[in-house]
């Protein structure tokens, strides 16, 4: 039998899978930002441990640089879907997006938890590693479920992984390692795999999210440059992030309670 098509280019879905679109470039940029954030944190830990001879004190400049990279990655993640819908999506766009999110919003914040609390000697190392692993595993499960399960409302089921990562980062920037703060990290991981629905940023909401990211980047730059008011800005931003993520589940619970009351009133009238 003749050797058919040996020198021909792959056609159909296989051929299309090798073509990167503009949206894919943003997804790859997201992955690169996550990788660079991990490199910055690792370099910070190695340098500090070498200079202090075993006593680790996190350098805010390195943490600020890592967080700025994650925020740039979040911006890429926000725009890749918009670009794919506006222009063209490749056959592997969704897979690239999820893989990039695992790096930037799963592995990078998990590594940040280890750099934040793993060398502090304030907490058992096994507990710190469990908290970091919970963030990574919850992020991976969250992304896998997002690819398989669609809600009727079109909203996200569970805390979106970029928001979860930014909330973990806020805890790291705002608090010293302690048992309550580690419980907070576990709580964020649980929210990512919960059934609580979070609104999907569309239209004006997407613009608000982008503006929020830009404001956070500005606050982090001011804080890292040690300018006046930087500490206050970073504390306000971190508190607002934690409050935002916490308020949505409370609002959902209140809404469900109101629905149950209305149901009972309707049944009693009947």
Widest CA span in the chain: 79
Residues 165-215: tens digit of each pLDDT: 888 988 888 888 899 999 999 999 998 988 887 777 666 666 776 677 677
Query: What pTM, to 2 d.p., does this model score?
Result: 0.78
Residue 71 in tokens: 């925020």
CATH number at 20-260: 1.20.120
Q: What angle do CA 256, 163, 157 make, to 5 degrees?
A: 40
Average pLDDT over residues 238-244: 76
Rounded to whole angstroms, the Cα distance separating 50 from 47 reads 5
- Does residue 225 sit in helix, strand or coil? coil
Residue 12 has pLDDT above 60, yes or no: no
13: left (phi over 0), alpha (psi -120 to 50) or beta: alpha
Residues 126-150: tens digit of each pLDDT: 999 999 999 999 999 988 887 776 6
Q: How high is the pLDDT of residue 89?
A: 64
Average pLDDT over residues 218-226: 71
Rounded to whole angstroms, the Cα distance separating 223 from 225 reads 5
Residue 10 has pLDDT above 60, yes or no: no
Domain extents in the chain: 20-260
């Amino acid at each position: 039998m003749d050797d058919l098509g040996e020198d021909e280019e792959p056609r159909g879905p296989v051929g299309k899978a090798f073509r990167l679109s503009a949206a894919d470039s943003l997804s790859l940029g997201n992955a690169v930002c996550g990788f660079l954030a991990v490199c910055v944190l690792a370099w910070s830990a190695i340098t500090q441990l070498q200079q202090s001879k075993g006593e680790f004190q996190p350098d805010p400049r390195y943490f600020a640089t890592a967080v700025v990279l994650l925020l740039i990655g979040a911006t890429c993640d926000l725009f890749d879907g918009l670009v794919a819908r506006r222009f063209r999506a490749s056959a592997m766009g969704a897979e690239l997006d999820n893989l990039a999110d695992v790096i930037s919003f799963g592995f990078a914040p998990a590594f940040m938890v280890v750099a934040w609390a793993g060398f502090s000697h304030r907490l058992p190392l096994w507990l710190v590693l469990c908290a970091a692993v919970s963030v990574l595993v919850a992020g991976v499960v969250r992304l896998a479920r997002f690819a398989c399960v669609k809600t009727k409302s079109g909203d996200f089921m569970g805390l979106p992984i970029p928001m979860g990562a930014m909330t973990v980062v806020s805890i790291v920037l705002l608090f010293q390692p302690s048992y309550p703060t580690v419980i907070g990290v576990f709580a964020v991981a649980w929210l990512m795999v919960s059934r609580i629905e979070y609104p999907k940023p569309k239209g004006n909401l997407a613009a608000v999210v982008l503006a929020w990211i830009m404001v956070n980047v500005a606050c982090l730059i001011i804080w890292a440059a040690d300018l006046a008011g930087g500490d206050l800005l970073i504390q306000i931003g971190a508190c607002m992030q934690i409050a935002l993520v916490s308020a949505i589940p409370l609002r959902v619970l209140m809404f469900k309670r109101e629905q149950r009351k209305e149901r009972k009133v309707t049944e009693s009238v009947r």
